[in-house]
Amino acid sequence: MTKEFEELKEALRQAPTEEARKAAAEAMRRYLATHPPKKSRPTLVSLKYKAPYPHAVPVDKIPDELAKNPEFYNLVKRIVTKEK
């Protein structure tokens, strides 16, 4: 794994406070800057019923959603860190 991905995982392991969400958003921006999508436009899709965040988030918009939404932060935390 890369250094940027490890930094993202560490940032996501924090409690979902406003500062932690901003730090995770910055870590995600750094990760995406070093690992740009190839030719497609990937999208994170969640099928959770009545989720308080969009059901389809383009990968380049994930940092923005991380910074403003604690439930989305927890979703990405479970995906990236593979913790419950």
What pLDDT is stored for residue 52 in this prediction? 82
- Nearest Cα to Cα of residue 9 among 79, 80, 70, 83: 80
- Residue ranges per domain, the chain? 3-81
Alpha-carbon torsion, ordered 35, 73, 65, 32, to 10 deg: -10
Integer-rounded Cα radius of gyration of the chain: 12
Within a 10 A sphere around the Cβ of 55, how many other Cβ atoms? Answer: 12
What pLDDT is stored for residue 7 in this prediction? 93
What pLDDT is stored for residue 82 in this prediction? 84
What pLDDT is stored for residue 13 in this prediction? 92
What pLDDT is stored for residue 40 in this prediction? 76
pTM: 0.82
- Identify the bridge partners of residue 80 per DSSP, sorted by sequence position: none
Cβ–Cβ under 8 Å, residues 71 and 55: no
What pLDDT is stored for residue 84 in this prediction? 65
Looking at residue 49, the DSSP 8-state letter turns out to be: T
| Positions of the chain with pLDDT lower than 50, given as ranges | none
